[in-house]
Structure 1
Amino acid sequence: MNDRIESVDILRGFTILAMILVNTPGTWSHIYTPLRHAEWHGLTPTDLIFPFFLFIVGISIYFSYKNKPNTLSTYKKIIIRSLKLIGLGLFLNLFLPYFPFFNDFETLRVPGVLQRIGIVFLFSSLLYLNCNWRSLIVIGVIIIIGYWLCLGYIPFPDGSPPTFNRGSNNWANYIDLNVLGKHMWKIDYDPEGLISTIPSIATCISGILIGKLLEGLTHIKHIFLVALGFLISGYILNIWFPINKAIWSSSFVLATSGWATLVLGVIYYLKDFKKQKFGTVFKYVGMNAITIYFLSSFISKSMYLIRINENSNIHSYIYETIFVQSFLPEKLSSMLYALTVVFFYLGLGYVLYKKKIFIKV
């Protein structure tokens, strides 16, 4: 791999480890604020993680398919990979919560992180194969503006005006509630819902365009100027369409793409311009990102399911026995547990990398 791709692998690995960090606290009751999602409107470091990954998916699409023929075989591979991602996500939602009986489908959550990655990968790849970069920009802008106008100005069937607030008076939540019903993460919304998946495709398109920029980059300042453009646009649009991960608002697309471009620019500068040995440890995870994310989710959920006695499962037993100490604040204990999990998967990534095991989903 050349250094440019290596920079992307570093960011991908860092993003997956950050995702594991925020998903595996010792206890959900004691978490530092930056490791929580915003309650509704707003942006925390945790809110950056998923859009960063979709942004990286876009960059990977550019480098993976820039020389691929626009053939039925290519489309078949894209569709199969998308179905694998969706299937893995559904497996996590179906198998673990209902093991071993598989008889409670009434409240099965249909959306999920891997499902969204699969859908976004499918549509973004097809767009990339059939559109030039100017068309991709136009499509991205149409999604961003169209989503804003639809959610902000189309009245509901009863004539009431829409809002961006949590509840059924929000178009994204309204459609999810009426289509998915009880098959959502929360009773009134799902952060990986149907309608909010559309603007997440725009996030991926921004990654495709940055991939093109990286390939022809003549000066490092260009990537930082693009990052600044994204950020300014996102925070200006925030005035009318608040930054919100749960509904993946248009301002959220722009702001998070700006932060992702900025962070990637820093990594690219250190790796390609300064030739520093920076971030290699994250590359180990980045080379098997989906595999490690899936394993972390599977193992974490399994540890909650397997009980040791009436009062504890494997997760709570390990946390309370090893990490909860009277001299430590509970938030720190909770984070130390999460960091231990992160180092475990970092080690796993290292072993897979050294053994040249790269599992493509």
Structure 2
Amino acid sequence: MGMYELIKGDDNSGIADPNKNLVVIDGDDGLPHKGDIESGKKVSRSSTVAAVAALPASAPSSAPSSPRRWHRLVSLDVFRGITVALMILVDDAGAFVPGINHSPWDGVTLADFVMPFFLFIVGVAMGLAYKRVSDGVATAKKAVLRALKLFILGLVLQGGYFHGIHNLTFGVDITSIRWMGVLQRIAIAYLLAAICEIWLRSDDDVDSGYSLLRKYRFQLLVGLILTTIYMAILYGLYVPDWEYEISGARSSGKTFSVRCGVKGDTGPACNAVGMIDRKILGIQHLYKRPVYERTKQCSINSPDNGPLPPDAPSWCQAPFDPEGLLSSVMAIVTCLIGLQFGHVIVHFEDHKDRIFQWMIPSFILLALAFSLDFLGLHMNKALYSLSYTCVTAGAAGILFAGIYLLVDVYGFRRPTFAMEWMGTHALMIYILIACNILPVLIQGFYWREPQNNLLKVLGI
């Protein structure tokens, strides 16, 4: 973590500047920290920017030569808090309002924006945290260590160690642990984007949008290469027939066969994303409740969960990981896009210039997304398709620009205080609420029988 000075807005820009000499202080694992390891400066908790997934990197930087009034980039906190609130909303209300729950397959809903927003925040915060890097090797080692910590935390929280709020047991069978998950995907995206930010940027001066692209052209090239690899594998890899087994409570299990023998298929059964996860991770290590079990083919209550139709295809109950290996490639691209938005704050002083540099690529991404979807490359969260990457990144850019204008430029902080607080405590909220740790802890206290606990009284 370190102190990273954000260039203040120009007083002549025609827009009020409530945050002169704006400074953001953040940890490269997205968590509040007590001090700045590199500079030795002590930093209060209230001066930190925390995130569930905003994993900006620790980069050495010197303290200001003259006393300054320090402020954090509040809009990033607010954006993070809004994303946390959205996550809680869709998790809790999605079962009652299927329209905001994750799309069963093609298409996007409100819930499908949560993960890309967090990844976008990762990139923005990283652009600020890595503003100056004096020792690339040491900083890269710290990035690797922090990514590893986040990955391990994800394994504990999402790998199956906690069995659920209605099961007072814990522990996980290593033969069936889920290797991937939300935090694991964020760790991977953070690490790759951090390596790009540390090693892949030139010394060119920035005085325009074109010069900004030129300075970080190698990072953009990495994003293009990753996208090309993803598209080539998704549409060019042959997917053979496969099978899986469902164990019954009173039987040895039932085996289902899925006929494929195709390539370029983007349906639930025969896509390359699922095949790679089955081959590399193992089908027993994938998410057991696939999103496509709510499709019309697999649920009579679609888009809600429901019994299988009489003519349901054989793949309806097959495990599928929404945070799989190939789909995480495009998650890295989302993080790299957010990183470029963070660069705008570092290199442009005028508020209007910043907003302009954000809005143009955001609208381009949205236009590209809808064009690709129209041409048949549908928006799909489970596959993390190219059109899905573009539409969510474009929406994130526009939302962030709007929040920045309202909060950091015009100073409307009181109406967004709750979101700001949630943003600065996002990881804690995610662990306690989204991962059901708080309900599990509460359920551990009961009267005589484990079933007699506060959760039962509350109807949970």
Shorter-chain TM band: 0.7 to 0.9
Matches within 5 A, 1:1-361: 1=23, 5-25=73-93, 30-92=95-157, 93-97=159-163, 100=169, 102=171, 104-132=173-201, 133-156=216-239, 160-167=262-269, 169-180=270-281, 181-186=283-288, 187-217=318-348, 218=350, 219=352, 220-238=355-373, 239-277=375-413, 278-296=415-433, 297-300=435-438, 302=440, 314-315=454-455, 317-319=457-459
The answer to whether the 8 Å contact 1:4/1:214 transfers is: no
The answer to whether the 8 Å contact 1:24/1:300 transfers is: no
Question: Distance in 2 between the 1:112 and 1:300 partners?
Answer: 19
Deviations 1:182-215 (A, max 9, x none): 1111333110111111110000000000111233
Deviation, 1:313, is 6.8
CA RMSD, aligned part only? 2.6
Question: Distance in 1 between the 2:218 and 2:172 partners?
Answer: 47
Deviation, 1:236, is 1.2
Residue 6 of structure 2 is matched in structure 1 by none
Question: Distance in 2 between the 1:20 and 1:124 partners?
Answer: 27
Which of the pair has the greater relative contact order for Cα pairs under 8 Å at 6+ separation? 1
User: SS at 1:286's partner residue?
Assistant: helix
Q: Which moved more, 1:276-285 or 1:189-198?
A: 276-285
Question: Distance in 1 between the 2:170 and 2:357 partners?
Answer: 55
The answer to whether the 8 Å contact 2:189/2:335 transfers is: yes
Residue 11 of structure 2 is matched in structure 1 by none
Deviation, 1:100, is 4.4
CA distance 1:197–1:301, change in 2 (3 Å): farther
Deviation, 1:70, is 3.6
Deviation, 1:147, is 1.4
Structure 2 unaligned spans of 5+: 1-22, 25-70, 202-215, 242-260, 289-317
User: SS at 1:166's partner residue?
Assistant: coil
Q: What is the one-letter code of the residue matched to 1:72?
A: V
Q: Which moved more, 1:127-136 or 1:69-78?
A: 69-78
Question: Distance in 2 between the 1:304 and 1:245 partners?
Answer: 33
CA distance 1:103–1:185, change in 2 (3 Å): closer
Question: Distance in 1 between the 2:420 and 2:276 partners?
Answer: 39
CA distance 1:301–1:177, change in 2 (3 Å): farther
The answer to whether the 8 Å contact 1:15/1:53 transfers is: yes
Question: Distance in 2 between the 1:129 and 1:189 partners?
Answer: 34
Q: What is the one-letter code of the residue matched to 1:111?
A: M
Deviation, 1:305, is 6.7
Question: Distance in 2 between the 1:41 and 1:284 partners?
Answer: 34
Question: Distance in 1 between the 2:455 and 2:338 partners?
Answer: 36
Q: Which moved more, 1:270-279 or 1:143-152?
A: 270-279
CA distance 1:101–1:56, change in 2 (3 Å): closer
Q: What is the one-letter code of the residue matched to 1:11?
A: F
The answer to whether the 8 Å contact 1:89/1:113 transfers is: yes
User: SS at 1:77's partner residue?
Assistant: helix
Question: Distance in 2 between the 1:248 and 1:11 partners?
Answer: 22
Higher percent of residues as helix? 1
Q: Which moved more, 1:77-86 or 1:151-160?
A: 151-160
Question: Distance in 2 between the 1:300 and 1:23 partners?
Answer: 15
Deviations 1:272-302 (A, max 9, x none): 3333335232121212322321222142562
Deviations 1:229-259 (A, max 9, x none): 1111111122332111111111111110000
The answer to whether the 8 Å contact 1:147/1:199 transfers is: yes
Question: Distance in 1 between the 2:370 and 2:319 partners?
Answer: 27
The answer to whether the 8 Å contact 2:160/2:172 transfers is: no
Higher-Rg structure is 2
